[in-house]
Amino acid sequence: RRWIADQWDESHATLSGSPAMHLVRVLRARPGMVFDLVAGDRVRRAVISEIEEGAVRFLLGEDVEAEAALPITLVLAVFKFDRMEWAIEKVTELGAACIVPVIARRTEKHLAQASTARVERWRRIAREAAQQSRRSDLLRIQDPAPLKDVVGQAPHALRLLLAERERSVMLRDAIEYEEGGASLPEDQEIWLAVGPEGGWAPEEDVLFSGEAWKPVSLGPRILRAETAAIAAVSTLAALLD
Ligand code: SAM
């Protein structure tokens, strides 16, 4: 397991809260013991220098090779919170870099209203999933925004609209690949948009096509939003990793 520092500079770091308690009480960490610690966007070999009530301090050493995120941003229309939390955990494990929660026309009203208050909880879930899956970096979760403010972002990215439409190409075919791997330019960002339980409204389809998002399909079956998000990220992970 990798530990994610709360505070750090070039040579020192501090871990606090329940991960620090777990380290001390369950793993019986003592000064001098060595762990891998995520400090910002680097994973470092770290020696415990001091243990205090509620905090563990480290001296930072060499860099450790770590798994970085895939360049995938998921635009996720907010859906039922228990399912949304599950999707956040799973796409973090699979390596997505960022989630942009959006309020779509068909997002249920009570979910749209409560979603801002939920963001800290979503970030904590992403943080725990990153630790568990040994990622070197955290999945970022932006504040929820209306779709119209998001749809024009990242014009440089390959922007794919998950849609169960007959004319859509399959997601795997939207990325040309050669034997030995996908042929996207290195670090090409990919944005994927997954609609709410009721699907995208017609005026939202118009917004997407106005910004030249490419509709892509995951096959003939209608998937729940969380299944579509996870299937899309794992399809891309298989092509890009
Ligand atoms: N529009 C559907 C309806 O009313 O029957 C339901 C929407 S589905 C539950 C939620 C979202 O998952 C869709 O907006 C789409 O983004 C994605 N999705 C579901 N099945 C898909 C598939 N086969 N291919 C691509 N995307 C899919």
**So where are the chain's domains?**
3-63, 72-240
Report the pLDDT value the prediction gives residue 168, as an integer from 0 to 100: 77
Q: 111-120, 163-172, 229-238 — which one is most confidently predicted on average? A: 229-238
Mutate to test the pocket of ligand 1, among 78, 162, 207, 213 (most ligand atoms within 8 A of CB): 162
Q: Which CATH number fits domain 72-240: 3.40.50.970, 3.40.1280.10, 3.40.50.300, 3.40.50.880?
A: 3.40.1280.10
Amino acid found at 176: E
Q: Which of 223, 226, 230, 233 to mutate to test the pocket of ligand 1 (most atoms within 8 A of CB)?
A: 223
- Give the separation between CA 162 and CA 168, rounded to whole angstroms: 9
Q: What CATH number does the domain located at 3-63 have?
A: 2.40.240.20
CA atoms within 13 A on the CB side of 64: 20
Return the higher-pLDDT residue of 180 and 160.
160
Residue 185 in this model has a pLDDT that exceeds 90: no
79 CA from centroid of ligand 1 (Å): 12
Lowest mean per-residue pLDDT among 73-82, 128-137, 157-166, 192-201? 128-137
The answer to whether the CB of 39 falls within 8 A of the CB of 80 is no
Whether the CB of 169 sits within 6 Å of ligand 1: no
pTM: 0.77
Distance 182 CA to ligand 1 centre (A): 25
In this structure, the number of other CB atoms found within 10 A of the CB of residue 164 comes to: 16
Q: From the alpha carbon of 224, which atom of ligand 1 is closest?
A: 9
Residue nearest to atom 13 of ligand 1 (CA): 195
